[in-house]
Each structure stands twice: as structure tokens, then as C-alpha cells.
């Protein structure tokens, strides 16, 4: 029989913040590979538009309005997703916000708390509830699963004026590593993705900044902004059986920026 490790037929992938940007780029690639997709987002119009795009690939798509900063919404969301699609094979904790400040000295406690609520609390609840589902499946004889936390280069580099954001992304990496060790016995792996400079709504300000375009992007060895579709391959890999022994890792998707 032919080796088809990247065929995702029969698998279900959940992507939080999956109605745009990197999340939608990952979801679209997984749908093309045959996976049924669950999208969580807070904007129902964007959810509907994303669903239409994904359904064109001939897969089942479930969308739900979920604010991951609300614990009960996450708990209810996992239950509803499993009920609708039957299972969750991979979860991409991708929903995030990018609040910053003119300087660390001017960063308010409100910004700090709002950033942590989505970027760290939301990831915590999403991974915890997905893990419960996957462990229950494993105990019933259906082992396996993939937990993915979308972090950022800010987790490993000095992100001036973004201390709150950087702290949350560093926390995501640590959380993922802990999950990788704890749940390996159930066939569950856990990995983090660290995007570099990617052209999304979150980076719209930087994209419109002439100085940024002239001084920062030329330092990217790939000589361009990353695009959401650049994350399709790693998403398919992490959901596929090809990554069944790959856990506790950090995937840096940045066009070479971090090493230059």
C-alpha cells in the first residue's frame, strides 16, 4: 500500500482564532488534505466566510463563537465540537491578541491583564479541555492526538514594548513542553509554532510603516513577509500520522529571521 502520511481523511482539527490570518491558513491546508475542521472565533461574520472557504474543499466544517478568555465558553466549545464532529484529533491554540505600548513604562495593568487573558489563559483552557477529550479517547482504546500552541518569536527574542505579549508566548512554549511529557503515554504529542513577521491583521500597523518595511523586512533572509499559507505545511504535518513521534518541539516559521 502506498505511503500516505499526510492524508488527513477522517481526522478532525480544531483551530481557535481560525477565521483569518495564520489560523485560516492552517485550517485551509488541513481541509485540502481531507480533515474536517472546527473554527472558533469571536466574529461570526468572519466565521461564516471562513466556513464557506473551507467547505469548498469538500469537508465538514463547524464554526462556533468562542471567546477563549472565558473558561466556560471553552469548556462548552470543546463539548459542542466533539458532539458535532465526533472527535478532535488536533487542536491549534492559535487565538491571540497583540496589545503593546509606546514603552514598558507606559504599559498599563489593563493591557497586561487583557493580553494574558487571551494569550495564556485561553491557551491553558483550550489545551486542558482538548487533553481531557484525548485522554478519555485513549482510555477507551483510541489513543493519539496533537496539541499545538501558537507562540511567537517574541518568546525567544527581546520584544521591546511588548513585555506582556512576550511573556504570554514564552508561557505557551513552557505549557506545551509540560503537556508533551505528561500525555506522551496516551499517544498525545504537543508542539509549539513560533511565527516571525507574518502579514496578518495583527501586523497591519507594521506593514504600513515605511521605516519598518525598509529596515526590518530586508533582514528577513527570505526577503519577504510571511503569509498565512506558509503555515499550512506544518499544520498538516502536526495533525498527520507522520508526526506521531515528534513532540515537545518548537517550529520556527520566520523565513530565517531568528538566525540572521
**Per-residue confidence of the chain (260 residues) as pLDDT tens digits?**
688 889 999 999 999 999 999 999 999 999 999 999 999 999 999 999 999 999 999 999 999 999 999 999 999 999 999 999 999 999 999 999 998 899 999 999 999 999 999 999 999 999 999 999 999 999 999 999 999 999 999 999 999 999 999 999 999 999 999 999 999 999 999 999 999 999 988 888 888 888 888 888 999 999 999 999 999 999 999 999 999 999 999 999 999 999 99
Report whether 68 contacts 61 (CB < 8 A). Answer: no
Report whether 190 contacts 247 (CB < 8 A). Answer: yes
Domain 12-254, classified CATH 3.40.50.720, yes or no:
yes
Question: What residue spans define the domains of the chain?
Answer: 12-254
* Global pTM value: 0.96
pLDDT of residue 96: 96
Report whether 151 contacts 140 (CB < 8 A). Answer: no
Q: 99 catalytic, yes or no? A: no
- Measure the CA dihedral 131/136/139/141, to 10°: -100
Instruction: Determine which one of 62, 165, 237, 257 is catalytic.
Output: 165
Amino acid at each position: 500500500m502506498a505511503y500516505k502520511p499526510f492524508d488527513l481523511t477522517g481526522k478532525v482539527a480544531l483551530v481557535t482564532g481560525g477565521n483569518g490570518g495564520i489560523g485560516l491558513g492552517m485550517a485551509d491546508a488541513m481541509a485540502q488534505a481531507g480533515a474536517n475542521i472546527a473554527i472558533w472565533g469571536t466574529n461570526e461574520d468572519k466565521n461564516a466566510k471562513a466556513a464557506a472557504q473551507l467547505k469548498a474543499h469538500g469537508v465538514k466544517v463547524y464554526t462556533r463563537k468562542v471567546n477563549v478568555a472565558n473558561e466556560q465558553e471553552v469548556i462548552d466549545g470543546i463539548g459542542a465540537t466533539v458532539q458535532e464532529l465526533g472527535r478532535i484529533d488536533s487542536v491549534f491554540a492559535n487565538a491571540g491578541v497583540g496589545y503593546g505600548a509606546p514603552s514598558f513604562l507606559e504599559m498599563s495593568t489593563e493591557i497586561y491583564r487583557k493580553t494574558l487573558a487571551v494569550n495564556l489563559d485561553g491557551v491553558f483552557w483550550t489545551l486542558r479541555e482538548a487533553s481531557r477529550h484525548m485522554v478519555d479517547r485513549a482510555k477507551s482504546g483510541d489513543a493519539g492526538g496533537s496539541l499545538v500552541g501558537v507562540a511567537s518569536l517574541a518568546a525567544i527574542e527581546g520584544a521591546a514594548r511588548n513585555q506582556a505579549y512576550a511573556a504570554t508566548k514564552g508561557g505557551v512554549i513552557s505549557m506545551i513542553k509540560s503537556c508533551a511529557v505528561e500525555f506522551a503515554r496516551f499517544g498525545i504529542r504537543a508542539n509549539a509554532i513560533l511565527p516571525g513577521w507574518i502579514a496578518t491583521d495583527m501586523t497591519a500597523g507594521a506593514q504600513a510603516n515605511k521605516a519598518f518595511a525598509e529596515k526590518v523586512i530586508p533582514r528577513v533572509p527570505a526577503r519577504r513577509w510571511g503569509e498565512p499559507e506558509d503555515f499550512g505545511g506544518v499544520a498538516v504535518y502536526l495533525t498527520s500520522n507522520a508526526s506521531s513521534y515528534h513532540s515537545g518541539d518548537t517550529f520556527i516559521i520566520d523565513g530565517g529571521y531568528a538566525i540572521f
